[in-house]
Structure 1
Amino acid sequence: KKLQELSKELFYDFQKKFLNSIAEILVEDEIKDKEGRIYSRGITSNYIKIIIPDFVGKKGEIVSVKLNQIISNYVISSVQTN
């Protein structure tokens, strides 16, 4: 149990290093919450799990995002437009 807690803490610290940075993600799927709000879910090249609220990306699409906030095992992000 202590090892799991340490692992979570270390991964949180790892994610924290990338907050407010721009990263490219691979869109994996989309999910809906209880209110019907749609989120795209993806992953960065260094395995940070990303959720993008109010965005529907195509599975396999590469999207540039800004990493904004850590919530649980995910980083809430926003799409960056060129």
Structure 2
Amino acid sequence: MEIESSEPQDIRAAIDAFIQTTSLEDAIQVIEKHPSLLEDQADLLLSSIIISAHKEGHELTAQALDERRDFIRSVRQERS
């Protein structure tokens, strides 16, 4: 799924890296490496990707991304 080019490159790269993780440990490492994932802008971009997946009929992808977004939100809440 393509991410819109109007978003800052570092956040797009961070989301791409996070989406590609295959374990909890990898996900945490990506968040540590890319703290921008914990910012509002990353949450909004991930939300827009989820909405696009729904609109395109990719329900399983949307559900998986929604779960990952929830994980990021829980990490964000723990750290605030």
- Both proteins in one fold, TM over 0.5: no
Higher strand share: 1
Q: TM-score, normalised by structure 1?
A: 0.28
Structure 1 or 2: larger helix share?
2
- Bigger radius of gyration among the two: 1
TM-score (norm 2): 0.28
